[in-house]
């Protein structure tokens, strides 16, 4: 479904990513785990070409995203939902208009069709449209902003969803709520998901596969069951040194 082959990225003299090779399994959630500042978010920005890599290739359905013309890239991006770390909502637009924005930008749906889809997606992420639709981002809690951002990221029925630190900055209860929402949506929509996180406990809840990024390379990539048993010393260091408590593999 989505594959990275030998992807590299530097910012000036600083090498951030070196030879990143990773395959996201169709209909599954792959979590890329690593410390803050390790380059995790850079990977998903490269996937949608918000950044350009220095080398390697990125394939969606065996088609190179990096070789795509501007017109083709515009079409490919419709297949990819992106939940930004902060939610990245438009401050000047209310919840309804934020979620409707991709439909207005990429489709010719009628207002009636747009309304039906926006209300459906808000309900899908556990929000009551009649209570939140007319609110503005500065009236929302952190967890609500994430959920509105999630509703917007799935409004075009993407085949791939990219999550950038979806539980960052949230309290444990809200973090668990967002993680359960991601699990529900993955099952409901059968999407292929890549989730970036430094939260080990929440990562294991959401993951089908785990990949660990360390010093610009993927040093381990396996099912979460195999990952939990990894003998890689760096992986063991993080697993055994985690303050998250017992890891739940279910």
CATH 3.40.50.300 fits 1-79+191-250, yes or no: yes
17 φ/ψ angles, rounded to the nearest 5 degrees: -125, 140
Q: What is the mean pLDDT of residues 36-48?
A: 87
d(CA 160, CA 182): 13
pTM of the predicted protein model: 0.87
DSSP string for 14-36: EEEEEEEEEEEPTTSEEEEE--T
**Domain layout of the chain by residue ranges:** 1-79+191-250
Q: Is the dihedral of CA 117, 123, 129, 132 positive or negative?
A: negative
Distance between CA atoms of residues 16 and 12, nearest Å: 10
* Tokens read off for 195: 């989730």
d(CA 248, CA 75): 38
Q: Are 22 and 211 within 8 A, CB to CB?
A: yes
pLDDT of residue 173: 86
Exposed e or buried b for every residue in 148-159, given b needs 16+ CB within 10 A?
A: bbbbbbbbbebb
Pairing of strands 14-24, 2-11: antiparallel
Residues 47-69: tens digit of each pLDDT: 999 999 999 999 998 999 999 99
What pLDDT, on a 0 to 100 scale, did the predictor assign at position 246?
46
Q: Which of 125-134, 137-146, 180-189, 238-247 has the lowest mean pLDDT?
A: 238-247
- The pLDDT score that the predictor gives to residue 39 is 86
Q: In what order do the strands lie in the sheet with 80-83?
A: 80-83, 160-164, 192-197, 29-33, 209-214, 217-223
Please report the pLDDT score of residue 21 as a whole number: 93
Indicate if the pLDDT at residue 175 is higher than 90: no
User: What pLDDT is recorded for position 154?
Assistant: 92
């Amino acid at each position: 479904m989505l594959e990275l082959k030998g992807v590299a990225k530097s910012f000036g003299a600083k090498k951030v990513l070196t030879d990143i090779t990773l395959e996201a399994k169709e209909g599954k959630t792959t979590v890329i785990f690593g410390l803050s500042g390790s380059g995790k978010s850079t990977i998903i920005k490269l996937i949608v070409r918000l950044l350009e890599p220095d080398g390697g290739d990125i394939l969606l359905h065996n088609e190179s995203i990096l070789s795509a013309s501007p017109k083709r890239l515009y079409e490919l991006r419709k297949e990819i939902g992106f939940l930004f770390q902060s939610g990245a909502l438009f401050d000047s637009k209310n919840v309804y208009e934020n979620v409707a924005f991709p439909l207005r930008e990429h489709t010719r749906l009628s207002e009636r069709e747009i309304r039906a889809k926006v209300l459906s997606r808000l309900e899908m992420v556990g929000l009551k449209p009649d209570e939140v639709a007319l609110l503005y981002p500065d009236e929302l809690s952190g967890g609500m902003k994430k959920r509105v951002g999630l509703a917007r990221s799935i409004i075009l029925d993407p085949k791939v969803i990219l999550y950038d630190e979806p539980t960052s900055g949230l309290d444990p209860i809200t973090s668990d709520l967002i993680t359960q929402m991601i699990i529900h949506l993955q099952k409901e929509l059968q999407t292929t998901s890549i989730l970036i996180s430094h939260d080990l406990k929440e990562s294991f809840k959401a993951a089908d596969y785990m990949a660990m990024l360390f010093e610009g390379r993927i040093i381990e990539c396996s099912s979460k069951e195999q990952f939990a048993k990894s003998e890689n010393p760096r992986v063991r260091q993080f697993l055994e040194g985690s303050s998250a408590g017992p890891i739940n593999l279910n």
